[in-house]
Amino acid sequence: MTETHPAATNERGFLAPSGNGLFGWIFSTDHKRIGLLYMYAILTFFLVGVVLGLLIRLELIAPGETIVSAQTYNALFTLHGVIMIFLFIIPGIPAIFGNIFLPIHIGANDVAFPRLNLLSWWLYIGGAMLALASLFGGAGFPDTGWTFYVPFSIQTHTNVTLAAFAVFILGFSSILTGLNFITTVHRLRATGVTWGRLPLFVWTLYSTAWVQVLATPILGITLALILLERVLGAGLFDPAKGGDPILYQHLFWIYSHPAVYIMILPGMGIISEIIPVFARKHIFGYWAMALSGIAIAFAGSLVWAHHMFVSGLSDTAIFVFSLLTFVVAIPSAIKVFNWTATLYKGSIALDPPMLHALSFILLFSVGGLTGLVLGAAATNVPVHDTHFVVGHFHYTMFGGTGFAFFAGLHFWLPKIFGRMYNRKVATAAWAAMLVGFNTLYSSMMVVGLRGMPRRYYDYLPQFTTLNVTATAGSWVLGAGIFVMFANLFWGSLRGAPAGSNPWGGRTLEWTLSSPPPAENFPSPPVVVHGPYIYPEEPTP
């Protein structure tokens, strides 16, 4: 520690200038600083992704070519998908809130491998830069969709090679974060932090970390094979050379379906932190919550071929994968029931974090239930590759994980920056987002049910009304997102002091000053009870 400005250092905690300017940030091994670095990078990509989404919707405001050509449209949805999946929703919650709060939640002063943590951030930035670079080579922007399906991805002259390599690098970032979190939870829990006293957010990050470590290498290998195909013409996926295009789909979804749970589990963890605080009640069914996360991670790894019901699978395979898909619904439903049971007879405060958390339950349930329509082989076939699917996955990923992420921002930014945003503006932005979101994606689901296929810049005239409604919804949603970020940004710089515990939370971060001190806990904490004990309530 240096001797300069002890008072200022205390007040600004880990945000206090370290004297090294920018280098004090981009080479810092402090888990909170790394979390913030991730936050600025990830939010920037998210906003770019939103703008691309709005452009896609603008093109679809009328049939025929409206603002972009067919080829540009293909590039738009590919970039939108790659950015949203690999740069926003997969890393988002673990890299930002996991990094900042996992060590604090278990009473540790940092993650197990701080330098590996910094390397993960650099790999993320490196991967993102390569993805940007892929815009400038070959015959232009990648146009395969975010799934890089063969044979098209091996044949197209657009710059798929660099884009696939970028995602390969991003995979390493994800693996290293997972490794770090697993070791941290096993090795660095403070005295008294038993497995039964872990906050549920930690449990979900822990389950997620195992999926990250076990499944991401498969994506790495799959993308490496695409590179082999493109660069050396290896022929693994090319029937003319004895290869099999369906093999690619299996390999891709063996990672990418579990990745759906990498996206959603940490979001569920945030909701499990927020609901008890704003209902002032102990979480209902702690162990069911903790173990259902593990069950989701496990069962979710066995269902990948439900993306391939129309690819010519055997009837037996279709039956098994359909059945397994329904099995995943059980632990997911346990979570929804337990949140609802926690709310029951609670003393509910509708502050901005809670509004987003409640929206999560609604939107994620819509996403989950429409997922069952897709998981049943019979109903899957007519809606396969339509806008129904696009509506469904936006409900789960955006309505689910996205809203959980926004809930987390409203819940924790006052802790991270020590300042409170304007709550009325936050509520107004939330209302606009909820209305815009449902207008947009429910219209997309309906138009999909009527047969409009996804990934086309054009459509039949009878789909016009629903598409206009969807595009109008996207403007309301976009405006809400913009106001939300402006308010959060303003609040983090200029907002009124938030105090150490604005919401009355009971997990360890609320015992620290806001912003938390650089070294977290001046002396190691000793924990004597679980995380959700409220004084107002008789102890269960």
DSSP per-residue letters across 148-190: T-TTHHHH--SSHHHHHHHHHHHHHHHHHHHHHHHHHHHH-PP
**Of 417, 326, 303, which Cα lies nearest the Cα of 13?**
417
Which of 257, 392 has the CB closer to Cu ion?
257
What beta strand segments (E) does 396-534 contain? 419-420, 496-497
Residues 511, 501: Cα–Cα separation, whole Å: 7
Total number of residues that touch ligand HEM (CB under 6 A)? 25
* Per-residue b or e along 314-323, where b marks 16 or more CB atoms closer than 10 Å to that residue's CB: eeeebeebbe
Q: At what angle do helices 403-417 and 423-449 cross, to 10 degrees?
A: 160
- Contacts for 486 with CB less than 8 Å, ≥ 6 apart: none
Q: Looking at beta carbons, which residue is closest to ligand HEM?
A: 53
419 pairs with which residues across the strands? 497
List the one residue from 31, 80, 281, 307 that touches ligand HEM (CB under 6 A).
80
Considering only residues 474 through 493, tell me which ones interact with ligand HEM, judged by CB under 6 A.
474, 477-478
User: Smaller CB distance to ligand HEM: residue 168 or 278?
Assistant: 168
Shortest distance (Å) from residue 143 CB to ligand HEM: 10
- Our finding on whether 451 is near ligand HEM (CB under 6 A) is no
- Residues engaged in binding Cu ion (CB under 5 A): 257
Q: Identify residues 99-158 at the interface with ligand HEM (CB under 6 A).
A: 145-146
Q: Which does 55 bind (CB under 5 to 8 A by kind): Cu ion, ligand HEM, none?
A: none
In this structure, which amino acid lies at residue 96?
I
Query: How many separate helices (H) and strands (E) can be counted in the chain?
Result: 19, 2
**Residue of the chain from 26, 48, 54, 67 that contacts ligand HEM (CB under 6 A):** 54
Q: Is 307 in the site for ligand HEM (CB under 6 A)?
A: no
- With CB under 5 to 8 Å by kind, the binding choice for 384 among ligand HEM, Cu ion, none is none
Q: Which of residues 519-538 bind ligand HEM (CB under 6 A)?
A: none
**Residue choice 32, 57, 257, 392 for contact with ligand HEM (CB under 6 A):** 57
Q: Hey, which residues between 336 and 395 contact ligand HEM (CB under 6 A)?
A: 390, 394
Query: What DSSP letter does each residue of 11-41 carry, written as one string?
Result: HHGGGS--SSTTHHHHT---HHHHHHHHHHH
Residue 305: CB minimum distance to Cu ion, A: 9
Of the candidate residues 41, 42, 43, 84, the single one contacting ligand HEM (CB under 6 A): 84
Environment class of 7 (CB within 10 Å of its CB; exposed 0-12, middle 13-18, buried 19+): exposed
Beta bridge partners of 314: none
Binding site for ligand HEM (CB under 6 A): 50, 53-54, 56-57, 77-78, 80-81, 84-85, 88-89, 145-146, 390, 394, 397-398, 402, 454-455, 474, 477-478
